[in-house]
Structure 1
Amino acid sequence: MRFELTDEQAGFGRALGDLLARADTVGVARAWAEGDTGPGLGLWKRLADQGVNALVVPEEAGGMGGSLVDLVVAHEVLGHHLAVGPWIEASAFLATALTGEALEAVAAGAVATVALPPHVPFALDGDVAEVVYAGTADGLLRARVGEIRASVDTTRRLAEVSAEAGADHAAGPEVSRLAGARTSTTGEVAAFDVAVLACSAQLVGCGERLLADTVAYAKQRRQFGREIGSYQAVKHQLADVRIALDFARPLVLGAALGEVPASAAKVAAADAAYLASRVGLQVHGAIGYTREFDLGLWITRVRALVGAWGTPAYHRGQVLATLTGSAR
C-alpha cells in the first residue's frame, strides 16, 4: 500500500512550514525556556488561526473535521520547527477526548493540557495553559496545577496536577482506559493513540531537521583539506538516518489510516529521531554540546519525546501484544 499525501495536505504542510520559518521559532523556544512565554503564545494563536487546534475536531463542534493524516502533517511540521507549547495534548488528545463546550474551546485555540497517568504523569506547560485536565478513573476532570518540574528539554515544563473536587466531567469514562486501549467504546481511535500518533509525527519532524542541519554542516566543515561529508564513514551514518526516517514516516501515515498500530509508529519514529540526534551530535563534535548551538534544542526535544506518551518499552510491549493476539 502506498501512503501519499493529497495536494491539499501537502499544501497545508508547506503553508504551516512557511509560517513557522518566518517566526524565528528558535528564538521563541529560547524565550519560552527562560520563562518569557509571550512570543510562544503569540505563535500559538497564529497557528490556531490556521486551524491546527481544530484539525480533528468535528465541524459541529467548531472544528475542521479533518483526518488523522491531516494531524500527522501538522505535527511533523511542528516538530521540524521546534514549536513550543502543549500541542500534542491540545490538538491531538483533548481534541479527540473532550466533548461539549470544553471541546469547542480547544477548537477555538485555547491553550489546554492534560496529565494522564501512568504514561503522562505531568501536564506539559501546565503553568502556562488556560485550562488543565487530569485523567482519573472516571474520565477527565479539570485540575489544579502544583509543583513545576524541569525537563531534559528546557522548552518543556512539567506540572504536577490534582483533579479539582466536584469538577464536572469533560468527557466520557472511556478516555480513562489509558494503559494500551486501542479503541474507545464507540470503536473510534482512542484519544491516547491519537496523541501517540502526533508525538510520532513530531519525532519524524525533529529527525528530519536534525538530518538536514547535519548534512549542511558536513558540507561546510573541512578536515584534512576535505569536507567531512566526503568521507565514507560520515556518509554511511547519514545514510542510515535517511533510511530510518524513510521507514518511519510510512508507519506513521499507516497508523493515521488505521493500517498500523500507533505503538509501531512510535517505536519506529523514536528510533529514527534518536539515531538522527546521535549522528548529528557525533558529526558536529564538541560544538553540538553547547547551549548556544541550536542543534542541542532539537536533540533534547527528541530525548523528551522518545519517552512522552508511553516509553519505548511500553510501545514495544504493545506491538508484541498485537502480533501475538493479546492486545486489548
Structure 2
Amino acid sequence: MNFELDEQQRDFAASIDAALSAADVPRAVRSWGDGDTAPGLKIWSQLAELGVTALMVSEQYDGIDASPVDLVVAAERLGRWCVPGPVVESIAVAPVLLAGDDRSADLASGDLLATVAAPPQVPRAVDADTAGLVLLAQDGTVADATAGDPHESVDPSRKLFDVNASADSRPAAVDRAYEFGVLTTAAVLVGAGQAMLDQSVEYAKQRHQFGRSIGSYQAIKHKLADVHIAVEMARPLIYGAALSLADDSPDTARDVSAAKVAASDAALFAARSALQTHGAIGFTHEHDLSLWLVRVQALRTAWGDPTTHRRRLLEALA
C-alpha cells in the first residue's frame, strides 16, 4: 500500500509554490494588516487560476469537487507562504456550508471570499471587513451575516469581528464544515512550521559565533532535527484525518482533533526554535520570520484551541 502523494498532487503543490515564490507575500501580509488588501487579493487571484479556491466546490458550480487530501496539499502550501486572508474559511468551510447555493460558483472562481463564525468554538469571523460574504453557522443552520465590532488579534493581518445574522437561517452541514475548518487549520499550521524550520536552517548556516556558523554546533543541529521530526510526525495525522473526512468515518472527530493537536504543537515548537536560532532579530517587525511567529500563535487557537481538541480526543478514546 502506497501512502505517498500521487504525481498530480505533487505537481499541484509545486505549482502553488512557483506562483507564491514569485509573489512578494510578506509585503502583501504587512499591507493586509495595514488595511491595504490589494496586494493580497492579487495573490488570491493567482490561487484561483490554479484552482485552489475551487477545490471543495461541487462540479455543479464549476468547482473541482476534490478530495480532502487535495485540500490538505493546498492548505499546507498556503501556510508555508503565510498567505493573508480568510484561507480556511473561504476554501474549506464556506463551500460545505453553501452546498446547493448558487454563490458557490463565485467561491470557485475566486470572485467571492467568504468568512465564517461558528460559535462557540469560532465566536468571531476573521477578515469580515474584507470578505464579500460573512456567514454565521450554529445549531445545524447557517445564515448570512454582517460584521459587527472589530477585535484585534495577536496577528495584525487577522482582524476578528463579531457578526450578526442579517437573513433567515437555513439547514447546513455545520458539523462537517467545522471538521473541515479544523483540518485545514492544522494543515496551514504544518506548512507554517515547515517554513520556520527552513528559515532556521538557512539562518544557522549564515550566522557565525566564535568563528563558526551556529549550524555547526551540535545543540543547534539537535534542536532543528527535533523540529523536523515534530513536523513530519504531524503530517500523517493530517492526511489520515483527511481520509476519515473523505470516507465519512465515525472516527472523523477523533482523527481531526489529533491532527490539530499535533500540528499546533509542532508549529509552536518550530516557532520557539526559530526564535532561539535567529535571536531577537526574528521577532522584529522588519524580519519576515515575525509574520509566521504571530500567525502560528493565532492559528493555534483558531477552530478550537489545543485544550478543546485534547478533550475531544480523550472523549473519543474513552
Question: Per the shorter chain, which TM-score range?
Answer: over 0.9
User: Do 2:97 and 2:172's aligned partners in 1 also have CA atoms closer than 8 Å?
Assistant: no
Q: 2:105 aligned with 1:104, yes or no? A: yes
**C-alpha separation between the residues in 2 aligned to 1:61 and 1:266?**
30
Cα deviation digits, residues 48-87 of structure 1 (max 9, x gap): 1221111021211221011101100100000000101101
Match of 2:52 in 1: 52
Q: 2:199 aligned with 1:198, yes or no? A: no
Letter in 2 for 1:255: A
User: Do 1:32 and 1:40's aligned partners in 2 also have CA atoms closer than 8 Å?
Assistant: yes
**How many Å apart are 1:101 and its aligned residue?**
1.3
Unpaired runs of 5+ residues, structure 1, are 176-180, 182-189
**C-alpha separation between the residues in 2 aligned to 1:173 and 1:65?**
18
Match of 1:70 in 2: 70
Match of 1:229 in 2: 215
Match for residue 252 of structure 1 among 224, 227, 238: 238
User: Do 1:126 and 1:145's aligned partners in 2 also have CA atoms closer than 8 Å?
Assistant: yes
Residue 161 of structure 2 aligns to a residue whose secondary structure is strand
Residue 104 of structure 2 aligns to a residue whose secondary structure is helix
Match for residue 321 of structure 1 among 299, 315, 318: 315
Residue 257 of structure 1 aligns to a residue whose secondary structure is helix
Question: Identity rate of aligned residues, in percent?
Answer: 48
Q: TM-score, normalised by structure 2?
A: 0.94
Match of 1:263 in 2: 257
Cα 1:69–1:157, aligned 2, differ >3 Å: closer, same or farther?
same
Aligned 1:138-287 pairs, distance under 5 A: 139-164=141-166, 167-169=167-169, 172-175=171-174, 181=175, 190-258=176-244, 261-287=255-281
Match of 1:185 in 2: none
Structure with greater proportional helix content: 2
**C-alpha separation between the residues in 2 aligned to 1:119 and 1:316?**
14
**C-alpha separation between the residues in 1 aligned to 2:163 and 2:177?**
20
**C-alpha separation between the residues in 2 aligned to 1:138 and 1:71?**
23
Unpaired runs of 5+ residues, structure 2, are none
Residue 84 of structure 1 aligns to a residue whose secondary structure is coil
How many aligned residue pairs are there? 308
Cα deviation digits, residues 74-103 of structure 1 (max 9, x gap): 000000001011010011011122122132
**C-alpha separation between the residues in 2 aligned to 1:143 and 1:216?**
45
Q: What's the Cα RMSD here? A: 1.4
